[in-house]
Every structure is written in C-alpha cells, then in structure tokens.
Structure 1
Amino acid sequence: MAWFRKWAGDPPLVLLALALSVFGIAMIYSAGVLNVPSPVVEGAWRRQLVWLALSLVAFTLVSRVPARWVEWGSPAAFAMALVLLAAVLAVGTGAGPAQSVGRWIQVGPIRFQPSEFAKIAAILGLARYLASREGPPLALRELVGPSALILLPMALVVLQPDLGTAIAFVGILFAVLFWAGVPLLHLLLLASPGVALVLAFDTRIWSAYFLLLAAACYFLRYRLYLVESAGVILANLAAGTIALPVWNSLAQYQKNRLLVFLDPATDPRGAGWNLIQSKVAIGSGGWTGKGFTEGTQKRLDFLPEQHTDFIFSVIGEELGFVGSLLALLLFGLLLLRVVRLAERVADPFAGMVLFGIFGTWLVHIFVNIGMTIGIVPITGIPLPFVSYGGTFLLTCWVMVALAVRMAKADDQG
C-alpha cells in the first residue's frame, strides 16, 4: 500500500513496532483478567490503547521533522531535559516506597515522566557533541566529555531514585561511543570503575581484580598515555572506596532486591517473592503455555506488577516457550532493523542517533527479561512497546520516528 509506505517511512521498522505494541495491549488485557478483579489493572489495556493512538500521532509529526532541524535542536532538547529532571526533584509526584522523591510531573490532568524524555535528549545531545568533533575520540582522555554529558542526567535520575531508568543511560553512552569509533579497549577501561564498584564488596576479589587491571595498564603502556593509565587506576580506587557509602545510601527496598538476587530464599515471602513467583510462572508455562488469559499465577495475583515490569512473566506462563521465543524474535528483528538503518547512513549524527536508540532498547529488553528469569537484579525497567506505561510507549514511538527520520538524513530530509 503506497499510502502506508509513505506514512511509515520505513515499513519494516514501523510494522515491527506496531506488532509489538498490539501484542503488548493484548498481554496487558490478559494481565487484568484476575480471579478477584482489580479496577486499576483491568482497565489498563484501554488506557494503553489511547496512548498508542497518541504515540502514532507523535510518530507522524516527529518523523516529518527534517534531520538537520533535529541536529540543530539537540542542545536545546538536552538542556530542557536537565531542567525537567531537576524540577522532578523539587515538585515531582510519586507513590509507594520506590518513589520517595517522585518520578512524574503533574500538569493538570496530565502526568508525565521526564526521565523518559531525557533518554531521547541524551541520545541527541551526545550524538551532536561527538558529530561536531573532527574525527572519533580515539584517546581515552577524550572520553571524559561524553561521559560527563551522560552522567549529568543519569545522576539526576538516580536521585529520584530510579536506578532502572538510570541503567538505560549507560547503554546510550556505550552504544553511541562504539558507533563513533571509540576502540573497544577504551570502552572496557571506561567500564572498569563500574566493575570495581560491584566487586569491592569482596576485598579479596577486588584486590585480585585491581592487580590484574594495574598489570593490564602496564602492558598497555605503549598504547595509553601515562595520565590515562593513572586516571584508570585512580578511578577504580575511587570506585572501590565509595562502594560502602553507595551501599549505605541505597533505600532498603533496593538493598533487598540485590540481596535476594543472590539468594531469593533468604526472604521468600518478602523481597524474594517477586522473583520466585516470576520464575514459577514462566517455568509452569512449559512449551506452549496455559492459554491466553488462563495463567494461574497471574489470575491469583501472585505475579507482581504483572502488567508493567513483569509482563514477560505473563507471556511465559500463558504462551509458553514458543510464545516467548516469538516475542524475542520480534525484538531481535526490531534491533536488527535499527542496526541496518545505521549501517546505511553516511551522516555521523544520524548513525549515532540510530545506534543510541539501539542501545536503549537493547538494555531495556535484556534487563527486563533478565530480571524475570533471575539473571539480573530486579529493577523497575519496562519492556519496550509491551509493558504498560503511557510515557514510555510514547517515548518508544518517538524513537521509531527519529530512526525513520535519521535513516533519510543523507537526503537532507
């Protein structure tokens, strides 16, 4: 259909996003079919349908904005995102123990989550910063600027506190830097302080890791400047030093999530409940599942946040291994399509925006599904296009629009 090709811009990408969105609404509907009805969950699919309609309108508008306008407006978008994130800390609203400060801004009847918009702004801001340089940042010391650019909004998100969303900024940073041509060695060294922070809770393991890192810096002395090697070592020392203060600064529910990730049996009826019930639901689905709307763990309301963060548990229980595999196939094709579009464009800014979108979705998919099966700690991070959440769905579709627009950047469209 000619009209659809003209409207979509890139039919394969848009069709995949539509398929996942419709699939998500179906699973949100199923998540609301409970033995004891819940008005909030029961009507979630209708609200998601409205948000999908709004998202398609946003897609239509954003996908028509010339690529050059997007690039020129990137600094303003990044600055606006920082202002909104700061405003959340002052006047944000939230509910429950996970939102002690607040993650939303309420304007009349409209409530939105600035951290979602900040992901797009971070991609655009970082891509603009790197595209304005002459050549890729090949020296390790040249990564300080891009890292600071991402750490600023990331820190504001952590203060909300919203560690799940903050993780997405890490994916943006490394994806865009990789596409910009930063050597893999430098990316590994850039990630090393984060590794040190995690390993610092076991002194022996951290000491062995630090010695290996110091030895690596010595053997790489002909590829790194002295100041760069010293910076890597000092950053890892600092990460190890602040590990305990960072742990103490976490809210109790965040500490519990990390502890039960290591051993859910330590608190099976408390912090470990979510993970245990999720694994039971997915495991009980077998090959073909219990049938649409027929999940017993879901019907008994044993699954936590079954229409949002744990929607994949509903998929696993009701559609089984086959249904889960088909969902993963759709996600895989979506990511592959974005990479293919990035490979085709010659414009540096457009390529980095496309790969930033790829990195964002990849982190969301991996962490969300990983936490439902117990391979990563539980964090509040939704599944793209599928989990319930209006602002997040809108953000995903704006990313689709940007991907379509960037794919035509070489035509100055």
Structure 2
Amino acid sequence: MQRLRIRRIEEKSLELCGGGGGGGGGGGAQQPSPARIPITIITGFLGSGKTTLVNRILTGDHGHRVLVIENEIGAISIDHHLIDEERSAAASASSAGVVVLKNGCMCCSGETPGSELERVLDKLLEIGMAAGAILPFDYVLIETSGLADPGPLMQVLWRREMATSGFYLDGVVSIVDAAHAMRHLRPAEAEKQVAVSDLVDLSDSPGALEDVSRAVEALNATAPQLRTSHALVGAATLLHLRAYASDSALELRRAAAGGAASHSPYVSCVSLESRAPLRLDALQSWLRALAEDRSDDVYRIKGVLALRGEPRRFIVHGVHAQIHGFAGSEWRDGEPRASSLVVIGHRLEGLRLDESFAACASDGESQSALTDAGECAPCEEEEAAAEGKKRL
C-alpha cells in the first residue's frame, strides 16, 4: 500500500512539473516569472490561528486572485454575501467544492482520499486541467493541517523538474500561538513546522513573547519573526517572499545563528562559516554526501557562499535531499567574501559539520566551474565522492 502511494505521488508530482498552467522557465533555481504562479505554504500547530489568517487573506482587498487549498476539512467559513454564486457554480462544475469570492479569490478543500500531499497535488492538477491555459487565480496558498509535516510537500514543489512547471514555491510561513507555544513546540511536528519556515508569525500573549521568540530562534535562526495580534498581518507581508529565488531575500542573521542554542531533542540549527573561499568541487562532494547520508535528518539548508575564482555569490537552498545551487549578485568591492551556511535538522552534529565544511576551503585546484547560467551540477544527480562520504 505504501509503495503504491509513493508511486502515485511521484506520478502526480511529475505531471505537475510538466504543466499545470502558466509558462515554463528553465533553470534549477526556480526563478519567478510573470507566467508562473507562486505558492505559499501556511503551516502551524493545532489552534495556532492559520485559518483566521487564511480567512483574512481570502476576503481582503489586496488585488490578488488567491486560490486557497484547505486541508482542515470544513474549517474555513465564509460569509454568504462575500461569495460570487454564479462563478462558484461554474467553477464547481469542473472542480468540485470550489468557492469563488467576489474579490476573485477562490477556496477549496482537499477532499480526495490519500495523504495530505496527494490531496494537494490532486487539487492543483484538477483545477489546472479544468482551467486550461489561463488559470483563474494568480497566487496559491496551501494551508496544511495542524499535525502535518510540510517537508514532503516542500520537496515536491522544490524539485528541479518544477522549473518547467507553471508553479513555484515562494515560501513557507509558520503561525505560532505564543500563549501556548512552549507546550506546542514540544511535539516533533510543531518543531519541524518552525524549522522549515521562511517567516514565523508570533501571535498574541505579549507576556510570553520574549521566551517564545528565543525558543523559535533556537529552532530556526534564519527566519524573520513577526509579532502580531490574532494573526493580524497583511497579505503584502506574507506573499511574494521570494525565499528561494535570490540572495537578496536570504537573511542569515549570522550573529543569531551562531549564538542560538537549541535544547530540543529533535531539532537543531547549526551555523557554518568560512572566511576562505570554497572550492566548488569540494563543496559539491560535501553537499552530495549530506543529501545522501542525512537526507531524512536535514530539513533545510540556506547559504550565501564565496567560491574560489568566482566573482558572484553562490546561493544554496535545500529541502531534505533536494539541494540547488546557483549564482547570485556579484560581490561588491571591498566587501568581505565570507561564506555562511545554516543547516537545520534532526540531531545534527555541529562540530563534525563545521570541520567537514571547513575542509571545502582546503588547498587544491578546483575541478568544477559554474555554467554560463550560473548553476552547478545537481547534488542529487552525481555519484557521491568517497572523500565526501568520509568527511560526514
């Protein structure tokens, strides 16, 4: 049964990679284009306020036609006067359960059988095929259920083949209820939801906010934190994060990453730095070994690196075994060309990672170079070097 489900998910994800509306675009970095539709994942533990936030975006006056895919069945409640009955009837004729609002936004539930990931893929494919070449929405929000691990969905949306899809992963937003967070952050699911996020919204309970903020920072020192009341945050703050698209959006917050210490038995955040330029071939071997040996344990990788003989920053993003690297902007004159990489995952050995990462700057002639498009070979497509395996 499990093998059949995995096979179905693989087939559906590849089908989504091949189309699903909008235009394609080459390159493993998944650069946004006007023809491609961004996807933001909204995650958070049970009762954190995800549905309140999503309802506000659905009914807001923000100029976007947002499609919300809801995985908590029946959780979203929309006032009747906000619904466009005619367009809802037309949409439901081709894709069951779709509600269209007067502001152009759409809402539907993942009601098909199977895992949460499979339901989301079904809905994206179903609506994409029904709409044809022109989709009736320009943004997708996926609200996960409270106990869901967003990692598998992120892996599908971040896989290299998605570069030819009409969709791209824009970012992951985690909602944390500060009033109950110190209890909620104990389960592994809740910790991972924070660990993989690109933005964390801390809502309510001003008295406990500082303790919660430190706990969140220990799990994910790279994610900016918002402080709101009842998830009262505008769509402009949550949408178009471009979290995977360029170095301009990558906030590593080196001091915080270096100083935060996680006391969690599940998740740790390790900050790695090198003041010497890295050899690309050594870095590729290191990343390949990390992807192969610790793919289940490494939740997120984010980094801005300096390569030997390369005038541009090298940007690294990874979700489990899906690790992509591409060239960013050029280093400015007089700017220190230092490398910073943050690895977030399960029971990581910080000292061992630090030593093996530092070895990527060791003496030796680099045998690899970036392509004209500013990319390196995919880490998951080459044979892992024996040297790289030994270092990890």
Measured against the shorter chain, the TM-score band is under 0.3
Please identify which structure carries the higher strand content: 2
TM-score calculated relative to the size of structure 1? 0.24
Identify the structure with bigger relative contact order (alpha carbons < 8 Å, sequence gap 6+): 1
